[in-house]
Structure 1
Amino acid sequence: MINTQHIKSYGRTSILATTLLTLMACNSSDESSTEGFVKLYNLSKDAPNIYLTLDEDINVDADSDNDHYENTYSGIAYTKANSNFSLETNNYDYQLAWQDGDNSSSENLNLIHQGQLTVTDDNIQMIVLANSILSPEVIIYDIPVIDDDSDDDDDLFNMRVLNMHAEQPQVDFYYSTEDETFAQAQLFSQVNYQELTENQKIAQQSYIFYITAAGSDEVLFQSHSINFAYSSQYVIALRENLGAGSSPFVIDKLSNSSITEYVDDNAETTIRAYNAVAPHAELSNYQGNLSLYVNGIDETPEIPLLNFGEISDELQLASGDYSLDLVNTQDEQPLLSNHLISLNENSNKTVFFYAEEEYVDSDGDGNIDENGDGIIDEIDINLYSLVVNNSLSTSIYEHEIEIVNLVQSDEFDQVQVYFVRNDETIDTALYHRTINYKETNEISLQNNSYQVFVIAQENGSRIILNSFELLLDEQSSEQFLVLEVSEASATGYKASLIEQVLAQESDNDD
C-alpha cells in the first residue's frame, strides 16, 4: 500500500503570495517567466535506482502537444540525490518508479508512487523517498532558495538539518570548530524524525558535527572536520549507518549540485579473507591451510585457520593502515609478509590471497627452457593479495556481482563473463563483463534467471571455462564471483559464488 504523501513547507512566503506568483508564472502574457527547483533524494535502502518523472498533465500525451512538459530523469541510487534542476513555476504530476526491464522510458517503469507538487518561484521542492520500497513513504520539503548578497560580504553559509533515521526519532545536533571538542560544541537544534529545521546562518570555516540522543551528552556520532568555504546553502541529512562502524549514524551534506557522505570519525572497519592459495609442489609442506596475522594488533593470529577455497568470518579492526602476514599452519613458515591494507572508517573489505607461478630465467637470456625438452626449467611461486571493497547494497530488486579473476594462464590474460537470460544467447546478452587477470569488475543484475558463461579467447577461438545457472530474487544478496584454476574441475577452472557481507539477523526474526 502506498502511504499518503506528506508536504512540509519551510517557506517564508504566505499562501496568498505563492498563489499569486504561480498565477503570474502561468499567465501566457507575462514574458518574464519565473522558475523553481526540484531535487530527488533516495533514502529507501532496499530500493534500486529510482526514476522521477515530471509531467504538466499526466493525462495528455506529450507527443500531441509541443508545449507540454514531460521528462523522466536519470535513476537515483540509495543515499544519492540529483542536482537541483530548474522548472517553470507550475503544478506538476510526478511519478516515482524503478526499472524492471531493459527500457527506462516512463511507460516501461514500475510505478511505486505518484502525486502532485507545485513548483514556486525561488523555492526547492526536495522529494525524499523513505521506508521500504514495498511500503514507500514520500515527503516533499519546500525550501526557499537563499541568495543573500550579505552572506558573501559577511562570510556566512546557510544550513538546515534533516533527521531521516527512523530508529532515532529525536536527536540533538551540535557543531564546533575544528579545534574544539564536544565540550565546547553549540547546540544547533533538536531534530525529530522527518523534521527539517529552520535555516541558520553560520560563519564560513571548518566544523565538526556531533549527534546525541535528545537531552543526552553521550556522543553517538562525531564527524571529521568539514570545510564550509562558500556562501552556499546546505541540508545536513542524518540517516542510518549500514557500514561496519558501531555508530548508528551517517550524515549527508546536500548542496544545490552535489551530495557528500560523512561517517563517524571513530568508526570501526571489518575485513574478511579468502584463501585462493592451492597446494603446490613449490610450496613446501603447505597443505592448503594458512593463518593470518595483522601486525600491530598482538602476537597471535587474528585468523588462526583459513583453509583453501574458504572465506573467513568478519574481523573487526580500528581504522588505519596495517600490514598482513600469512603463515603456513603446518610448519609455521611465512608465506607472505608485510602486505598493506588501508582501512578507512566504516569500511568493509575482503582480501583475496592467491599464488602466482613465475618462470625463472636464471641466466637472463630470455630462454626458460634451456635444454629444449618442452618443460620449464624452474618455477617460483609467489603469493599476492587483492583487496576489494564489499558492496553494502540491500536492494531487493537488483544485486551487485563483483567478479574476481584469479585465473593465471599462458594462453590468455583476461576472461569474459556473460549473464544470459532465457530469451538471449551469448552474442545477444545485455549483461557481460571483461575482467583482466588479478583484477575485479562489478555488474548489477536485475532479479531473473541467468545462465552464466565464463569464456576465454585462445588463438581466435572462444573456450568455455565454466558455466552454471544463477537465480536472483528478493532474498538474494550481493556476491563475489571468484574465478580460479581447479584441477578438480573437468574444464580445469571453477567459478564460486560467495556472499560479500555476512547476512545480518533480521529485526523481525524470533
Structure 2
Amino acid sequence: MKCSKVFYSIASVSMALMLAACGGSDDEQSSYSDSYIQFYNGSPNSAYTYLSINDSTLSGSSYGDATTVYTYDAGDVDMDLSRVDSDGQSIDLTSNTISLKKGIKKLVMLTGDYQEVNTVTFDIERQEYEDQFDLYATSMVNGGQGYDLYMAESGTPFSSAHLVASTQYQSLTHATYWAPDEDSDYWDEDEYVFYITTAGSDEVLFQSSPINMAYSTEYVAVIREGSGPTGSNLVLDLLNNSTTVNSYTDIQASSQFRVYNSLNDSDALSVVLAGNAQEYPLMIAKDSLSDFQIVDYGDYRLSATDDTGTLLSNKLITLNQGDSKTVILFHNGEGNMTSIAFDESTLPQIYDHNLNVSNLVSDFSDVDIYFVRQDETVETAVYKVKNLQFAENDTISLPNGFYEIVAVYEKSSDDATLLYRSTLLDISDEANFIVTLEPDTNSPTGYTVNLLK
C-alpha cells in the first residue's frame, strides 16, 4: 500500500528562553561542550509521537512521557514529529528547523489539541551541581488558567510551604529557591512535597506525596490534566535529563476498578470489594465485564460467591491514588476460582490503544497472541505478545485499526498448534480493551479469545 502522508495545520510557538541559574550564556562559560535535545508529549489526545532529527528517527513518547536526552553538536537541525497509523505508515505531523546551542538542552513540548499540532521549545542551561538540583515549571493545562507551585520540606504542612513558581500555559518559569545564600541558589537533594493552587489562591488543588529529589540535575515540573479516575484533576510530572518521567497524582485522588467474570458454570457471581469503612458490591453475570466503579484509594479485600457458596475470599486488592485496575476471575488448573489483577492505562485511548492480554488456559506452559492486520500472517505480524504464561497478563500498544487475534501454542519451531483465530475485529473505539484466552467447550479447538471493553 502506498503511504499517503497527511500534514496538519501547524501553530508552532518557539519560546527560546535562556534561563540561566547563574553566570551568562556565553559558550566559554558553559561546563557542557555539547548541545542537547529532549521531547515531551503534553498533548492529552495525542497518539504515541516520534521525534526525528535530520531524518533519523530517535524515539517517541505518549502523553505525559518524554524521550531520553540526545546529544548533538551546536547548530541548526531539522526536527520532525510523526505518528504511525494502523497500516504501519508514518504520518508526518510537523517539521521545523531548530537551533541547538552549546551547553543548552532544547526541550521540545507537544501541547494542545493533537488535530492542530502545536509545539513549544525551551532552552535550559546545563549546570554542574554538588548534591543539589535546580527547578523549572510550566503548565500544559489548556484554557488560560495560571497555577502557583509551592514546595515544602517533607513533613511540613502547606502553611510552611513556599511559593516557588507562578506558571502560565506554554510558558517556562525558573523556580525561585526560598533560602539562597552566598554559596548557592539551589535546593539540596532531599524529600519535598509539592502543592498546586490557582494563581494567587491559597486553596490547595493538589498535594503530592513526599518526593525524593535524588539527582543533581535540572528538573522541570509540568502541571497537566489527569485522565481516567482522576478526571479533570491535576497531575504533576517531573522531568529530568533521562527518559524517566515520574508522575504524581493528588494524595486524595480517587481510584477505579472493574471485574471480569470469565466463569461460565454459574449464572452470576456476587462480588464484594470491602475496605475498613465501605463496601462495593457487584452482581456479575457469567462471561461479563462490570462497569468501572469509582472508589477511595486504599487496600481492599475481594470476595466472590455464587449459589453454591464462597468461591474466593479475602483476596488483597490495592488501589493507589489515580489507579485504574481490572480483576479477572477464572479457574486455576484444579478447577478452583482464582484471580489476577492488573493496572489499566489512564491515558486517552484515541489513536493508540494499550491492551491488556491475559492467558486463562492452564493446558499450555505458554502461548503466543498475534494481532494480525489484513496484509499479514502470524509470521509477518508486527504486533504480538510472546510466551504468555498461564494466569499471566501482559500489555501491548496498537494503533487504531482492524485485527485478527490469533492464539498459538508453539511446542517447537516446526510444531505449532492453532488455539483460536478470530474474525477481523475493530480496535478503534475510545475505550480500554482487554484480550483473554479462555477454555471454551463450544469452540472447535476447545479455546476462544474474547475482546472486552
Q: If the length of structure 2 is used for normalisation, what is the TM-score? A: 0.86
Q: Residue 113 of structure 2: SS of its match in structure 1?
A: coil
The CA deviation string for residues 451-485 of structure 1, in whole angstroms up to 9 with x for no partner, is 22223358985443322223446545331112212
Following superposition, the deviation at residue 39 of structure 1 comes to 1.1
The CA deviation string for residues 67-118 of structure 1, in whole angstroms up to 9 with x for no partner, is xxx5321222322212322221112221111234787xxxx73210011211
CA distance in 2, matches of 1:467, 1:243: 32
Following superposition, the deviation at residue 199 of structure 1 comes to 4.1
Q: Does 1:4 align with 2:11?
A: yes
Partner of 1:140: 121
Partner of 1:322: 300
Partner of 1:49: 48
Structure 1 pair 191–384 and aligned structure 2 pair: CA distance change class (3 A)? same
Following superposition, the deviation at residue 490 of structure 1 comes to 4.0
CA distance in 2, matches of 1:118, 1:458: 54
The CA deviation string for residues 232-284 of structure 1, in whole angstroms up to 9 with x for no partner, is 221111111114235611111111224221221222111101112232xxxxx
Please show how residues 98-497 of structure 1 align to structure 2 within 5 Å: 98-100=83-85, 109-147=90-128, 152=130, 156-167=132-143, 169-200=145-176, 201-204=185-188, 205-245=190-230, 248-257=233-242, 258-279=244-265, 287-297=266-276, 302-328=280-306, 330=307, 333-358=309-334, 381-409=335-363, 412-434=364-386, 435-456=388-409, 462-472=416-426, 474-497=428-451
Following superposition, the deviation at residue 34 of structure 1 comes to 4.8
Q: Is the 8 A contact 1:303 1:312 kept in 2?
A: no
Aligned length: 429
User: What is the letter of the counterpart of residue 385 of structure 1?
Assistant: S
Q: Residue 197 of structure 1: SS of its match in structure 2?
A: strand
CA distance in 1, matches of 2:168, 2:426: 38
Q: Is the 8 A contact 1:166 1:193 kept in 2?
A: yes
Following superposition, the deviation at residue 357 of structure 1 comes to 4.7
CA distance in 2, matches of 1:49, 1:292: 36
Structure 1 pair 247–97 and aligned structure 2 pair: CA distance change class (3 A)? closer
Q: Is the 8 A contact 1:278 1:355 kept in 2?
A: no
Of structures 1 and 2, the one scoring higher in RCO (CA 8 A, sep 6+) is: 2
Following superposition, the deviation at residue 142 of structure 1 comes to 1.6
Q: Residue 332 of structure 2: SS of its match in structure 1?
A: strand
CA distance in 1, matches of 2:324, 2:400: 25
The CA deviation string for residues 134-165 of structure 1, in whole angstroms up to 9 with x for no partner, is 21111011222233xxx53xx64211111111
CA distance in 1, matches of 2:19, 2:415: 69
Q: Is the 8 A contact 1:396 1:473 kept in 2?
A: no
What's the Cα RMSD here?
Answer: 2.8
CA distance in 2, matches of 1:298, 1:179: 26
Structure 1 pair 184–311 and aligned structure 2 pair: CA distance change class (3 A)? same
Structure 1 pair 430–172 and aligned structure 2 pair: CA distance change class (3 A)? closer
The CA deviation string for residues 203-259 of structure 1, in whole angstroms up to 9 with x for no partner, is 313211111112322211100111224442211111111142356111111112242
Gaps (5+ residues) in structure 1? 23-32, 56-69, 280-286, 359-380, 500-510
Q: Residue 418 of structure 1: SS of its match in structure 2?
A: strand
Q: Residue 60 of structure 2: SS of its match in structure 1?
A: coil
Bigger fraction of residues in strand:
2
CA distance in 2, matches of 1:321, 1:98: 39
Gaps (5+ residues) in structure 2? 1-7, 177-184
- Identical positions, percent: 29
Structure 1 pair 463–228 and aligned structure 2 pair: CA distance change class (3 A)? closer
The CA deviation string for residues 332-384 of structure 1, in whole angstroms up to 9 with x for no partner, is x32211111122221100001112352xxxxxxxxxxxxxxxxxxxxxx4211
CA distance in 1, matches of 2:366, 2:217: 47
Q: 1:83 aligns with which of 56, 63, 68?
A: 68
